[in-house]
Amino acid sequence: DTGVSQDPRHKITKRGQNVTFRCDPISEHNRLYWYRQTLGQGPEFLTYFQNEAQLEKSRLLSDRFSAERPKGSFSTLEIQRTEQGDSAMYLCASSPLRANIQYFGAGTRLSVL
Amino acid sequence: SQQGEEDPQALSIQEGENATMNCSYKTSINNLQWYRQNSGRGLVHLILIRSNEREKHSGRLRVTLDTSKKSSSLLITASRAADTASYFCATDARGNNRLAFGKGNQVVVIP
């Protein structure tokens, strides 16, 4: 399978714990995006990378959130000191450099108890 | 704030009928895209229309774009049960790589 993969698919955690999600984009795609989606809403942009450089971050990405793409391949999104309001689907997408069609993974559903 | 914003509709139609949904946005765009999302899954790109285009077709899909009204419509012809999903429009503002999604339209096609 050469699509975007995300791991884990589901994560249940207690409030205050840290969680980390992984995204493996389509191998030849330079750009990688993270979005958050809550029930009944469309995805909201969080951040994006071009190769290993994080080029833009949304105001939604508070200090508790950090994303990395150390070698320009896979990316991780970490949430520290999780809160119940962090419960959502976290979607990763990738795209080639000269196109803005984004290819999405199946997402990681986070439930904070 | 999100640029794309669909009319908040939940459509329920019979198989074989056409489904139309609309989207409005607020600022200048480079292009507008439509995505489909099946329950609990990621989004799948359907079609992209550039700001200098007015209409585009892809299989059973027809998209229109009216930049003067800042609106777009997606028509699915001869719907099938497999078309049951949520449909989102997303705008790509000029010089920006983020997509701004609307709230989505839920479409149910009854066999």
Q: Residue B45: beta bridge partners? A: B35
Q: How does the average pLDDT of chain B come out, rounded?
A: 89
Q: Closest residue of B to A6, CA-based?
A: B42
Residue from B2, B33, B58, B99 whose CB has the most chain A CBs within 10 Å, to mutate: B99
Q: Mutate one of A5, A102, A109 to test the B interface: name it (highest B CB count within 10 A).
A: A102
Q: What percent of chain B lies above the pLDDT cut of 70?
A: 90
**How many Cβ atoms are within 10 Å of A44's Cβ, its own excluded?**
18
Give the chain A residue nearest B2 (alpha carbons). A44
Worst-scoring range by mean pLDDT, A54-63, B65-74, B75-84, B92-101?
A: B92-101
Residue A84 is which amino acid? Q
Please compute Rg for chain B using Cα positions. 13
CA nearest to B93, candidates B73, B67, B75, B69: B67
